[in-house]
Amino acid sequence: MTNVLILGANGSIARFAIDLFLKETDAQLTLYLRNSGRLKNVNSSRVRIIEGDVLDIEKLKEAMVGQDVVYANLAGQLEQMAKNVVEAMNASDVNRLIWISSMGIYGEVPGERYSSILNPYRNSAAIVEGSDLDYTILRPGWFTNNDEIDYEITQKGEPFKGHDVSRKSVAYLVVKLAITPGMEIRRSLGVSKPE
């Protein structure tokens, strides 16, 4: 049984991932978010909810205790959040991190130029990559609400394929990474729907 800490548990991908974890695995989930009142339909004996902010390093360290996998689905002050997640994981001897970022952070999308709007994603990914953690960074395309699991991945350094991808597809990949030991460790994966 895997203990999974989901940071930003009310995020659009996280909600799909929670559903998949509960239906497809025996994972125990700790849902960490600023406002627990936003969560709907997570009544399960396998779910624990912690109301907290990733910027609160002490509360974050407490949430890390006993976890096997951390899945970070965050928005806001991404650089400081990345620093806190790495520090809290190191302090708690938790090694496996799945970090959601964005396509374009390496200039890997053919024909696209991205401005400074991607700097927080780029810089937070660099913090994760500079750690000793067993991380996997996901760089999804723009999200759709399509009810499908249909995606392909590209490795860092390869041109990004496709563009859009369903939230359900990204959530499926998150769950697969969380429950499959050794899968895509220390990799940064572009995620898009096959064209």
pLDDT in tens, 16-36: 999 999 999 999 999 999 998
Q: Tokens in use for 69?
A: 């996998």
pLDDT in the model for residue 195? 83
Q: Tokens in use for 191?
A: 């995620």
pLDDT in tens, 168-191: 999 999 999 999 999 999 999 999
Residues composing the chain: 195
Average pLDDT of the chain to the nearest whole number: 95
Question: What CA–CA distances, in Å, run from 48 to 9, 28, 159, 184, 194?
Answer: 11, 8, 39, 27, 36
The strand pairing partners of 3, in sequence order, are 28
pLDDT in the model for residue 112? 82
pLDDT in tens, 46-56: 999 999 999 99
Q: Tokens in use for 47?
A: 């779910």
Q: What is the CATH number of domain 3-192?
A: 3.40.50.720
The alpha-carbon radius of gyration of the chain (Å, integer) is 16
pLDDT in tens, 48-100: 999 999 999 999 999 999 999 999 999 999 999 999 999 999 999 999 999 99
Percent share of the chain, pLDDT over 70: 100
pTM above 0.95, yes or no: yes
pLDDT in the model for residue 66? 97
For the chain, which residues make up each domain, given as ranges?
3-192
pLDDT in tens, 96-126: 999 999 999 999 998 887 778 899 999 999 9
DSSP-assigned states of every residue in the chain: --EEEEETTTSHHHHHHHHHHHHH---EEEEEES-GGG--S---TTEEEEE--TT-HHHHHHHHTT-SEEEE---SSHHHHHHHHHHHHHHHT--EEEEE--TTTTS-STT----GGGHHHHHHHHHHHTSSSEEEEEEE-EEE--S----EEEETTSPP--SEEEHHHHHHHHHHHHHSTTTTTTEEEEEE---
Candidates 141, 67, 62; CA nearest to 100 is 141
